[in-house]
Amino acid sequence: DGGITQSPKYLFRKEGQNVTLSCEQNLNHDAMYWYRQDPGQGLRLIYYSQIVNDFQKGDIAEGYSVSREKKESFPLTVTSAQKNPTAFYLCASRAGTGGLGEQYFGPGTRLTVT
Q: Write out the residues near other proteins by the rule CB under 8 A.
A: 4, 6, 31, 33, 40-43, 45, 48, 50, 56, 58, 90, 92, 94, 99-108, 110
CB of 64 to other proteins, least distance (A): 16
CB of 80 to other proteins, least distance (A): 27
Which residue, 18 or 101, has its beta carbon nearer to other proteins? 101
- Residue 114 CB partners (closer than 8 Å, separation 6+): 12, 13, 14, 15
CB of 40 to other proteins, least distance (A): 7
- Residue 13 CB partners (closer than 8 Å, separation 6+): 19, 85, 111, 112, 113, 114
Which residue, 15 or 102, has its beta carbon nearer to other proteins? 102
CA angle in degrees (0–180, nearest 5) for 87-95-42:
25
